[in-house]
Amino acid sequence: MAMIANECASLLESIDSPASLRAIPESLLQPLANELREELIQTVAGSGGHLAAGLGVVELTIALHRVMETPRDRLIWDVGHQAYPHKMITGRRSEMAGIRKMGGLSGFPLRSESQYDAFGVAHAGTSISAALGMAIGAVHDDSQRKVVAVIGDGGLTSGMAYEALNQLGHLGSDVLVILNDNGMSISPNVGALSERCSPCSDSEAVEDPAGFFAALGLDYHGPVDGHDMADLLAALNEVMPVDKPRVLHVQTCKGKGYHHAEDDPVKYHGVGSFDPGTGLKPAVSSAQAGVAKLGGPQTYTEVFSEWLCEMADRESDLVAITPAMREGSGLVNFAKRYPGRYFDAGIAEQHAVTLGAGLACENLKPVVAIYSSFLQRAYDQLIHDVALQNLPVLFAIDRGGLAGADGATHHGSFDLSFLRCVPNLVLMAPADEDECSRMLTTGLCHDGPSAVRYPRGGGPGAAIDEMREPLPIGKARHCRQGSNIALLSFGSLLPTAQVVAEEMDATLVDMRFIKPLDEAMVMQLAETHQMLVTIEDNAVAGGAGSAVNECLMANGRVLPVLNLGLPDRFVQHGTREELLSQCGLDEDGIVAAIESFRSSLR
């Protein structure tokens, strides 16, 4: 018995690539899975990151790399939260402690990181489209390589997935779609397809999923127990040689093998460091749910959550919409208190925005709570369906600016640029918690489209006025009078700008509104100072600083202007503080940039 235990304990050490995995006896694959799952728990407990999704696909990951000839065959993970086991058996196990840390592994598959990451992902619903493109490429190259897309039932709430399935069935390409069915995205799945087309459903009106996929031109196989290694291998060996569109339905348990995560997969979707013996502390759960913490500054998400519930008490016509981000956007309390006024659209950002437009047409007051990087996916709907019709939809945009450890795919680097050019839209960026609350009220009261864009994490700790009075639209706030240099701060970097202003005896203005810009304030500062400096946590290109430049040029006023913001490159992962420093947006970086710019003018 001891010999067997020692043999099993050394299995993971012997796996440095899928080739070595394919070389061990099949009887050792389940012991390998057990060891991999245990190490995943220990690793994420120390580093933080995505846990429950990866625990649910340990056997599936091993089985896929066993049957496929990766990296020649293409394996694509939709979203990528579940790809930690994949990273661990493709030569990156020794680097897992640094995952999502600056200079370490990405939390998602990344083409530049490994030849085994066939496609870079992080937003849902892209895998089948990419797989179809790769399958067409294989035909073009006269290659015999296989292409597999692993997508969850949560990912299948994305409209893009159905667009891809539609063309895949039409073209008849050699793509295997693995439906990883665990009843979850980040939150429990919503929608008619989830209720009626899954054997896991509690609905009495369950439809045959084989018929659904057959209507799209795909052969259906399954369901298969995703934690039974023998069954998985048998099913994959059966469907892999087929050369036409097919689906293998695999049923898994999100959080499998760690009872805390099985009991609460939402809580254990993304975690910080924790004791694996006792699990997460209750305080983590409350913060994740958007409930105010005891002591310490609130996060901007929590400010929004409290504001939304309070306004719903006052305004019976207020309704809230989220594209499958109930926890992350702070809508848990609202969903519990006002279930008839809460709409989870699933991972369907385009639909979520136009749903809001339709609600606004019927005199309701829709609030679309959405991450900045996910709003990118609904840009046409924002323009065509909301702004063009001047409909009063309020966008509560979370994760504006640098989002931290999730990296380039989740930074809200571009929202000020792509929103300020949209006619009719009022665009605001708060500098503290009170401004955030009051700006949300401003948007709700405005008879037209509006957006409040705020960062991930906490503010400076400003007290929130209980009245939550709206702000005068387009008016900035003068914070400090100095001389020679004026700092124009847009959004959450105001506390940093305050320190810089004190050090350099500069005037400081909290601009508040990107659109409409307080042009009178800009011109006043231009007349009374030798140099203007704009500060924002958005791309410099086309951002708030560009709006200031345009104002000055339109009014024929020429003076030195330094625009500080995010560089013209994709910023990778790290803590928000590390990334701000890297981009020159901490106190030292801003002072150095101003001094350098001022020297160049002499």
pLDDT one-digit tens code per residue, 263-315: 999 999 999 999 999 999 864 433 344 333 445 789 999 999 999 999 999 99
Query: Residue 507 pairs with which residues in a beta bridge?
Result: 486
Range 35-38 contact pairs with CB under 8 angstroms and sequence separation of 24 or more: 35/8, 35/9, 35/11, 36/12, 36/62, 36/85, 36/88, 36/89, 37/85, 37/256, 37/257, 37/258, 38/257
Supply the angle between the helices 127-140 and 159-171 in degrees, to the nearest 10: 30
Query: Can you state the angle between helices 58-67 and 29-47, rounded to 10 degrees?
Result: 130
Residues of the chain with pLDDT under 50: 1-8, 203-205, 283-294
Classify 2-265 by CATH class.
Answer: alpha beta
What is the per-residue pLDDT across 471-509, written as a single tens digit (0 to 9) for each? 999 999 999 999 999 999 999 999 999 999 999 999 999
Question: What pLDDT does residue 183 have?
Answer: 81
Contacts of 241 (CB under 8 A, 6+ apart): none
Closest CA to 559 of 592, 525, 520, 591: 525
Q: What pTM was computed for the model?
A: 0.93
Give me the pLDDT at residue 8, please. 44
List, by residue number, the catalytic residues: 254, 349, 377
* Structure-token match 């203005």, residue found: 509
- In CATH, what number does 477-600 get? 3.40.50.920
Q: Which residue has the tokens 């007051």?
A: 365
Domain 2-265 matches domain 477-600 at the CATH topology level = yes
Name the CATH code of domain 286-453 (choices 3.40.50.970, 3.30.750.24, 1.10.357.10, 3.30.930.10): 3.40.50.970
Q: What is the reported pLDDT for 188?
A: 64
**Hey, where are the domains in the chain?**
2-265, 286-453, 477-600
Cis geometry, peptide bond prior to residue 71 (ω within 30 degrees of 0): yes
